[in-house]
């Protein structure tokens, strides 16, 4: 058993080292791409998902953006997005999530723990969230997330993330479809090789959108009668 675990660990490390080399080559191939311009890095036509990254001026790490379409309504989206205990079922590499404080119907704080790539310590973050509910005049619902690293002391061996900031915008399109766009910037804190950061930032938005689409179809959320804990509508 121990030999098998060692073999699996070695395979994981080799896989990440290969990715690191490929990532360095990719950076060389795309060095002519201007900063502050979105680059399409994945298009999944079967699931209507597009993922992008961008090298921002003045930042060492890439920003991300993911766009998708779903057949659902804002109440179902809210039931999924604000069910923190079940984030681990769909949110990329989430180990734990829980609500910390409800400030109002449109403002709250929550805690989240992410699994890190092999050989690196896991990360945690405290997020301050605000909701701009959908109105006919506004035409969309907006969730803004901002990490607050010093909300409470770090919890070693977890490494506190410096930034896990994003906006998530949901725009009803008619015909029972909603267009979603998540855009943001993540700084995992601590000492992390650039290839590991790039790997996560390329995988996490797409995999999260894919998982989100999947759980939206669950009768647990889709057929629920109760209102979500936080609402995306006025």
Per-residue pLDDT tens for 106-129?
Answer: 999 999 999 998 889 999 999 999
pLDDT tens string 198-208: 788 889 999 99
| Residues 88/95, Cβ–Cβ less than 8 Å | yes
Structure confidence at residue 9 (pLDDT): 45
| Average confidence score pLDDT of the chain | 88
What topology does CATH give the domain 35-222? Alpha-D-Glucose-1,6-Bisphosphate; Chain A, domain 4 (3.30.530)
Cα 141 from Cα 135, distance rounded (Å): 8
Q: Tell me how far apart the alpha carbons of residues 27 and 78 are, in angstroms, rounded to a whole number.
A: 37
Segment (H or E) for 180: strand 177-187
Of 64, 89, 98, 117, the closest CA to residue 211 belongs to 89
pLDDT at 46 over 80: yes
Q: Is the overall model pTM greater than 0.95, yes or no?
A: no
Residue 211, pLDDT score: 98
Closest CA to 152 of 126, 129, 189: 126
- Beta strand 159-160 with 123-132: parallel, antiparallel or unpaired? parallel
Q: How many residues does the chain have?
A: 234
Give 3-state DSSP helix, strand, coil % of the chain, rounded to 5: 30, 35, 35
CA 55 – CA 47 distance, rounded (Å): 26
> Which of 70, 90, 93 has its CA nearest to residue 82?
90
């Amino acid at each position: 058993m121990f030999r098998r675990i060692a073999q699996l660990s070695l395979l994981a490390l080799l896989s990440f080292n290969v990715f690191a080399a490929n990532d360095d080559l990719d950076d060389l191939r795309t060095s002519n791409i201007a900063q502050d311009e979105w680059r399409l890095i994945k298009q999944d036509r079967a699931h209507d998902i597009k993922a992008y990254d961008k090298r921002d001026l003045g930042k060492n790490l890439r920003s991300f953006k993911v766009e998708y379409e779903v057949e659902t309504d804002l109440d179902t989206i809210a039931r999924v997005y604000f069910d923190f205990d079940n984030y681990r079922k769909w949110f990329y590499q989430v180990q734990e999530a829980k609500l910390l404080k409800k400030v109002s119907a449109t403002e709250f704080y929550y805690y989240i723990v992410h699994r890190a790539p092999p050989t690196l310590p896991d990360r945690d973050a405290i997020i301050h969230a605000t909701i701009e509910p959908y109105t006919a005049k506004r035409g969309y619902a907006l969730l803004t997330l901002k990490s607050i690293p010093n909300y409470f002391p770090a919890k070693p061996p977890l490494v506190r993330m410096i930034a896990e900031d994003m906006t998530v915008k949901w725009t009803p399109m008619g015909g029972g479809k909603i267009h979603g766009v998540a855009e943001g910037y993540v700084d995992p804190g601590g000492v992390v090789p650039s290839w590991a950061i790039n790997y996560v930032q390329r995988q996490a938005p797409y995999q999260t959108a894919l998982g989100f689409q999947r759980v939206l179809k669950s009768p647990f959320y889709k057929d629920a009668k109760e209102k979500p804990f936080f609402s995306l509508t006025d």
